[in-house]
């Protein structure tokens, strides 16, 4: 591992590369984490797909572009061609990263192929996960089709199979083999990779509050739940005067947004949300596609920092991506959970279990009537807001980035690299 520079704040200065594969919600938390590492004296770069590069540069961090856009594959889940094209672009982009200078790689779940990049570079890596994918009996695999518990043994076994058997993880089947070949590394089976990961107790930090995700007692040492890594606001950001005027013109509205996937069917989702708000008699701020005033009581907006917007809402209805879930609980307002895919049903179940959201509505079952009823419940039942505010106060006191900064500072010159 190559080290250089002077000591900063008692730690060795490191060149840290965060591999932020994924859509906007997968990249944004790493801007906050990266900024904290920069404050500790480290040199930080984030590799992300080109549509999300501005998130990185706005945070004052070095940006390394990855080709392609995973959103195209996610919005065409049954298109073998779309995923094949994306996977080929990702492999080539990550292979290019191996030519960069770095002392340490930090890898998200979607950037798991970065473990091979770290090996090729001869540097260590750590996990910085936004989803809990390691085996536990507490819940079934969060990135799979399993939605109900399989029992403690079944939950653990299913999660382990996702690591060990390519067929159990079709989205990444074969990609590790291609990645290693592209980097000139010897072949290694998924089972062997998992064994190396576990036998070395590869460190993984989870950027979520332990109040939202209590650390499973059956997790091995090295798996930690630290607290959220909050995205940075763009420098000099100011709210649109139109939005300010709308907020001041009446009672607090509710927020409705369905994440990155909303852009694929913006007109349909916007119409559904408008009808739901009309049925519930609520004002609304929509983040579903088009922008501007849709009526006297509904305003459609573009990207607005959640830490500014959500506290001004009466409730937030969203897809339950990890970052949006965190922004909602920090704001201390009730939620309406409308999960779409992947880890979103898991976060929705956590919001319901914490008592800050009524029963979740799977996106495929969403109708104006169901959304209106859930919004009405969240806004009118004071218990949801009381629990949300109590949870918010405790989460606001956490410092999720501190354990990662401390761990990076502990790295010293060592022979070889940690597996990923």
- Residue 7: the pLDDT is 36
> Which of the residue ranges 193-197, 383-387, 401-405 would you say has the lowest mean pLDDT?
193-197
Residue 343 · residue 142 · CB < 8 Å: yes
- Residue 4: the pLDDT is 26
Statement: residue 298 has pLDDT above 80: yes
Statement: residue 155 has pLDDT above 80: yes
| Closest alpha carbon to 231 in 355, 46, 80, 69 | 46
Residue 403 · residue 353 · CB < 8 Å: no
Average pLDDT over residues 130-142: 93
- Residue 244: the pLDDT is 96
Q: What is the pLDDT of residues 318-345, one digit of tens each?
A: 999 999 999 999 999 999 999 988 899 9
Q: Half-sphere exposure of 394 toward its Cβ, with a 13 Å CA cutoff?
A: 9
Average pLDDT over residues 172-177: 74
Angle, vertex CA 55, rays to CA 54 and CA 59, nearest 5: 105
Lookup: tokens for 21: 């594969």
Higher pLDDT, 213 or 78: 213
pLDDT confidence bin for 289, thresholds 50/70/90: confident
- Residue 146: the pLDDT is 67
Higher pLDDT, 200 or 75: 200
Statement: residue 220 has pLDDT above 80: yes
The CATH fold of domain 241-396? Rossmann fold (3.40.50)
Lookup: tokens for 89: 């672009």
| Domains 7-228+399-410 and 241-396 in one fold | yes
> Which of the residue ranges 26-40, 118-132, 279-293 would you say has the lowest mean pLDDT?
279-293
- Residue 12: the pLDDT is 62
Would you say domain 7-228+399-410 falls under CATH 3.40.50.2000?
yes
Domain ranges of the chain: 7-228+399-410, 241-396
- Residue 330: the pLDDT is 97
Q: What is the pLDDT of residues 361-381, one digit of tens each?
A: 998 899 999 999 999 999 999
pLDDT confidence bin for 174, thresholds 50/70/90: confident
CA distance 266 to 186: 45
Q: What is the pLDDT of residues 3-48, one digit of tens each?
A: 222 333 344 688 999 999 988 888 999 999 999 999 999 999 999 9
Element at 127 (helix H, strand E): strand 125-129
pLDDT confidence bin for 173, thresholds 50/70/90: low
CA distance 63 to 46: 5
> Which of the residue ranges 41-45, 224-228, 409-413 would you say has the lowest mean pLDDT?
409-413
Statement: residue 167 has pLDDT above 90: no
């Amino acid at each position: 591992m190559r080290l250089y520079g002077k000591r900063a704040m008692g730690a060795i200065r490191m060149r840290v590369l965060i591999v932020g594969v994924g859509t906007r919600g997968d990249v944004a938390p790493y801007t906050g984490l990266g900024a904290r590492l920069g404050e500790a004296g480290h040199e930080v770069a984030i590799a992300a797909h080109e549509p999300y590069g501005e998130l990185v540069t706005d945070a004052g961090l070095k940006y390394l572009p990855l080709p392609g856009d995973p959103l195209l594959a996610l919005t065409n889940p049954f298109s073998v061609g779309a995923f094949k094209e994306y996977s080929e672009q990702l492999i080539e982009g990550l292979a290019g990263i191996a030519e960069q200078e770095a002392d340490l790689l930090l890898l998200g779940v979607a950037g798991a192929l970065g473990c091979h990049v770290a090996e090729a570079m001869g540097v260590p890596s750590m996990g910085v996960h936004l989803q809990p994918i390691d085996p536990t009996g507490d819940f079934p695999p969060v990135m799979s089709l399993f939605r109900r518990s399989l029992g403690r043994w079944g939950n653990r076994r299913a999660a382990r199979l996702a690591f060990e058997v390519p067929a159990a993880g079709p989205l990444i089947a074969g990609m590790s083999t291609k990645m290693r070949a592209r980097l000139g590394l010897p072949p290694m089976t998924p089972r062997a990779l998992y064994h190396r990961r576990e036998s070395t107790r590869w460190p993984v930090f989870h950027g979520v509050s332990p109040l939202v995700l209590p650390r499973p007692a059956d997790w091995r040492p090295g798996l930690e739940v630290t607290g959220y890594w909050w995205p940075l606001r763009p420098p000099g950001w100011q709210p649109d005067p139109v939005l300010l005027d709308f907020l001041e013109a009446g009672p607090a509205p509710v927020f409705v947004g369905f994440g990155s996937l909303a852009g694929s069917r913006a007109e349909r989702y916007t119409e559904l949300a408008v009808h739901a708000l009309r049925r519930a008699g609520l004002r609304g701020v929509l983040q579903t596609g088009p922008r501007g005033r849709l009526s006297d009581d509904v305003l459609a907006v573009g990207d607005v920092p959640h830490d500014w917007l959500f506290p001004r809402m009466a409730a937030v209805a969203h897809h339950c991506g990890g970052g949006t879930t965190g922004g909602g609980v920090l704001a201390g307002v009730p939620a309406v959970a409308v999960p779409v895919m992947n880890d979103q049903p898991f976060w929705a179940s956590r919001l319901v279990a914490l008592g800050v959201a009524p029963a979740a509505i799977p996106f495929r079952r969403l109708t104006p009537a169901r959304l209106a009823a859930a919004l009405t419940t969240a806004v009118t039942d004071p218990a949801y807001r009381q629990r949300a505010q109590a949870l918010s106060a405790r989460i606001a006191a956490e410092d999720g980035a501190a354990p990662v900064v401390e761990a990076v500072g502990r790295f010293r010159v060592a022979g070889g690299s940690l597996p990923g």
